[in-house]
Structure 1
């Protein structure tokens, strides 16, 4: 196959992906994901199985009212039931009611499934494939035929497996998709079986393209490699999911597969502008499905182009090719220089430039910053996850600023009470601070000790720093650093704060979780005020 030929991407996040453990999509979730995929220019979006549940029915109705602009939405279903005519099968009526131009039908390729799962004859299974496709075609639908368990079926009984494909092809299927449903096939087997199938059914492939698709699962950790092997052996449609979501170990990850096919092998999958949406789309969809993004995912992960070791940072700032296999911007990602105890002066200089601080290797303070960084990281701090705290650290060493306030002390009381139907708890925080010589005592309540402490601190400071009223806590994470110490273990707290426009993360470390939380909360306020002051300064210069 010409490597510049197009590969048709078929996304099944909304159906196969939603079968992954821990994923439950609402109707609104499905519509948001579909419209995001549509903006990415994904050719086929499998929306679900109409009739399987009310949500999927409503999904297709919604898209009839407001159709997608770039993508074909596809309804999914099995072949008709044994010994029931397709025209009389209510399951297929629900498919037609979905109103899609394209329908994907899956049928049995493996004789074991025909006898053990369907409990019918091999001949009836062929009739089910033929009758279903011919009926849907007669109703004006274009059919994609998913050959379920294709590779297992071929290895057990290749003669019968090939008969199922020929039946689907003769009945008028537009595409024949080879499915590694159990996910246990390896790349060399994929290549061999795809090549043997094309040799046995030459009409599957013309000179410029083919009617072959590939659908792989990741049970052996080879879903992406298997899909690539199939493409290189003649497949021109690839099915998969965003972030590799799916049942058991997941499906082929389109966020890995698309860049490999397009940037490494030269196949055309998406337009360049659409390809650059891949990383933000991956993160957006992870938020919609309510799963944490995989920071270490190839291509789209936050750490995919992160550089931590001083030698690496020094090299990559001179020439990114030294430690990057592609330009991160091509898939909408970006280079990150991570600050840690493994950093060198190059890391410090990178962050100084990022923060708008003039600094050179000759500056004594550059070494002071690096030494302080390594000391704190040895104590349990982790600045790669809290860049706001590192900027505050740098600025405090370069030019010590006047403290916003002086803490005189704080106390937190928790009241846990048992009610008939639920366990409830409230916390009360009392804080005493001094600002410009004025002592303030404030009390606030919260649904937990950190919330109460945060509220009390805000009440005490908002008179002097009104901007604090716009800040809010967006996220709170706790990590035990030395679990062997039991309840005396040191705790690291990361607090993400925001002002409605920007977000920033700060850190605190202490054997006392409230002390660590207090550190992170205070630095969150300090950094928010720094952002506000910087923004006002820029505005005054412009005006």
Structure 2
């Protein structure tokens, strides 16, 4: 950055709070949530929502579990006024859900706001006026007393109007741009408003302290909230509400610390939509709590449905790296990450603790309606662990650990050539081509166990086999005797075809996906140069699967470049 431009900026002043307590607190319960998607989020859209989209969004918010929803600025917009009437006249507001309307401290605007909520069982009327030094000095050119008088006059009208309606009215006040307001002045005007409304512990007011513009590090916002909570009179008669914006990219952290500092309520939006850089993201806040064992009181177990409605109504897209909700957040491309996730998922299957403990995944994707299918995706950066995970969890092939590096190299070569991410199906297709369908050298036409018995004197099994193997298009009849069918087949290949190899490792298991009657065998051989080659075979007969697996390894060995 240009050093000469730095003189235009100065650090935000800290709060002189030497005995702050919030750093030692933890969040143990969810706040009262208030969605402002239909007001703050809507007014930030290039194309604001129409009535049908607003209704769909409102119904989504209700399904998620919001009990307080700021539905608009009915005194400033006919569409928002009409929408509130649609909600009330159409009986779309369930019991226990309270609509909230925002109004400036002007009589005609307050009266229109009250007209918009007529017929509702309950409503929150949210009064605000600007209090920051910049707003006072530059926009309104008014002193402190004039700003207080403006707010108090609005509060009186709100109280008078509340006495003329059958709707139960709850009061909320925001000193707009709280973070740009001197703390003592913010406290003074809020207490002046409370004096008009006369709240009680049984009927508290909402004092909303918005970071209308995020101007400091999150710890300072927390200090401001703790200072305010400690200094205000009649603290038990107010719910302290937060409304953080994300100008510095720290709204989630600021809100979490401010909750630790004593706040009771949070206003925000789904996925952080809102003016400029957006409001605090309630999805992230709620799921952060969930991962700490705290019930957020919101149902985000079907996150894809939430995303679909949000994107359809707002015409905005959820970023692929968005916490918890992004398309790629449960995906690992890095080889080391894939290997750790693979091992973590395996360990999870074996533990009885019930705790979610998987490296790189702070939440179980299934808890938000995702599946394990997208956890690991394959590209040129992927490693053997990720490839093994795909083969196991997608297709039921539990590749032996020593087989992982070789197949990982095969996939990396394919990915490099492809130049893009490989789908799970492409990974399996590569496995099929490389191991299961590789018959360029040797192909089994028939295999029979002619005789098999147990030699009591030798305490061993003896098997006699006969097979027909196609070698470069020509059929070869081979037979031999061995300790078992596989050993006999190895002897037949050595004696009948002159092959030189050593059987080094053998694994088998029933396939866990697809047909349960099939089994898979994995065999490692060492060729005449002591080089390791793995093969794989699938069949309903495990003996035949092992024969196919051996031929697979031999075919892969035969395909290696000849030494000069």
What TM-score comes out, normalization by structure 1 length? Answer: 0.64
For each residue in 1:361-417, what CA deviation from the matched residue of structure 2 results, as whole angstroms up to 9, or x when unmatched? Answer: 4797x7775444322332353225x4454454444545569xxxxxxxxxxxxxxxx
1:10 CA displacement: 0.9
- Provide the rounded CA distance (Å) in 1 between the counterparts of 2:153 and 2:134: 16
1:478-509 per-residue CA deviation (whole Å, 9 max, x = no partner) reads: xxxxxxxxxxxxxxxxxxxxxxxxxxxxxxxx
Q: How does 1:310-321 map to 2 (within 5 A)?
A: 310-319=335-344, 320-321=357-358
Mapping 1:118-197, distance limit 5 Å: 118=140, 121-138=146-163, 139=165, 140-154=168-182, 158-172=183-197, 174-197=205-228
CA distance in 2, matches of 1:362, 1:383: 24
Deviation of 1:218 (Å): 0.4
Pick one of 382, 385, 388 that aligns with 1:349.
Answer: 388
Q: Offset at 1:4?
A: 3.6
Partner residue in 2 for 1:269: 296
Dislocated runs of 4+, deviation >6 Å: none
Judging changes above 3 Å, is the alpha-carbon distance between structure 1 residues 13 and 321 closer, same or farther for their aligned structure 2 residues?
Answer: same
3-state SS in 1 of match to 2:69: strand
Question: Which ranges in structure 2 are unaligned for 5 or more consecutive residues?
Answer: 1-24, 198-203, 345-356, 439-564
Residues 390 and 55 (structure 1), Cα distance of their counterparts in 2 relative to 1, 3 Å cut = farther
1:338 aligns with 2:377: yes
**Quick check: 1:181–1:216 contact (8 Å CA) kept in 2?**
yes
| Aligned-pair CA distance for 1:30 | 1.4
Give the CA deviation at 1:243: 0.6
Contact 1:7 1:267 in 2 (8 A): no
Provide the residue aligned with 2:266 in structure 1: 238
Q: Which residue of 1 aligns with 2:463?
A: none
**Gap change, CA 1:292 and 1:144, over 3 Å in 2:** same
After TM superposition, list the pairs within 5 Å mapping 1:384-533 onto structure 2: 386-397=423-434
Report the 3-state secondary structure (helix = DSSP H, G, I; strand = E; otherwise coil) of the residue aligned with 2:37: coil
**Bigger shift: 187-196 or 281-290?**
281-290
Q: 1:122 to 1:47 in 2, by over 3 A?
A: closer
Q: Is residue 9–residue 43 contact of structure 1 (8 Å, CA) maintained in 2?
A: yes
Q: Partner of 1:215: helix, strand, or coil?
A: strand
Q: How far apart, CA to CA, are the structure 2 residues paired with 1:162 and 1:26?
A: 38
1:106 to 110, 116, 128: 128
Aligned alpha-carbon RMSD (Å): 3.1
Cα 1:101–1:35 shift into 2, 3 Å: same
TM-score, normalised to structure 2's length? 0.61
Is the partner of 1:185 in helix, strand or coil?
Answer: coil
Q: Counterpart of 1:45? A: 69
Asked whether 1:297 is paired with 2:319, we answer no
CA distance in 2, matches of 1:62, 1:270: 27
Quote the residue 2:252 is aligned against. 224
1: distance between equivalents of 2:215 and 2:279? 12
How far is 1:225 from its partner? 1.0
Sort the Cα spacing of 1:267 and 1:370 in 2 relative to 1 into closer, same or farther, 3 A: closer
Deviation at 1:60, TM superposition (A): 1.5
CA contact (8 A) 1:75 1:95 kept: no
Task: Assess if the C-alpha contact under 8 Å between 2:124 and 2:171 holds in 1.
Answer: yes
Question: Counterpart of 1:325 in 2: which secondary structure?
Answer: coil
User: How far is 1:111 from its partner?
Assistant: 4.9
- Given the superposition, is the C-alpha separation of residues 382 and 171 from structure 1 closer, same or farther in structure 2, using an over 3 Å criterion? farther
Give the Cα separation in 2 of the matches to 1:317 and 1:362.
12
For 1:247, the equivalent position in structure 2 comes to 275
Whether the 8 Å contact between 2:74 and 2:113 is mirrored in structure 1 is no
Structure 1 unmatched runs, 5+: 402-543
Query: Aligned pair in 2 of structure 1 residues 89, 44: CA closer, same or farther (>3 Å)?
Result: closer
Q: CA separation of 1:28/1:56 partners in 2, compared to 1, >3 Å: closer, same or farther?
A: same
Greater mean alpha carbon deviation, residues 314-323 or residues 90-99: 90-99
What is the distance in 2 between the residues matched to 1:378 and 1:240? 43
Partner of 2:229: 198
| Corresponding position of 1:16 | 40
Deviation at 1:148, TM superposition (A): 1.1
Q: Secondary structure at the match of 1:101?
A: strand
SS in 2 for 1:293: coil
Instruction: Give the Cα–Cα distance (whole angstroms) in 2 for the partners of residues 2 and 183 of structure 1.
Output: 23
Q: Deviations over 1:148-198 (max 9, x none)?
A: 1112112xxx33321211022223362101001112232121121112112
Change over 3 Å in CA distance of 1:68–1:108 after alignment to 2: same
Once structures 1 and 2 are overlaid, which stretch shifts more, 37-46 or 349-358?
349-358
Give the CA deviation at 1:51: 3.8
The answer (yes or no) to whether the contact 1:279–1:301 under 8 Å persists in 2 is no
Give the C-alpha shift of residue 213 in structure 1: 0.5
Question: Cα distance 1:98–1:342, how it changes in 2: closer, same or farther (>3 A)?
Answer: farther
Aligned to 2:462: none
User: Could you say which structure has the larger radius of gyration?
Assistant: 2
Secondary structure (helix, strand or coil) at the match of 1:308 reads coil
Find the residue that maps to 2:289 and give its secondary structure. helix
Partner Cα distance (1:372, 1:28) in 2: 52
Secondary structure of the residue that 1:211 maps to in structure 2? Answer: strand
The match for 1:7 is 31
Kept in 1, the 8 Å contact 2:104–2:110? The answer is no
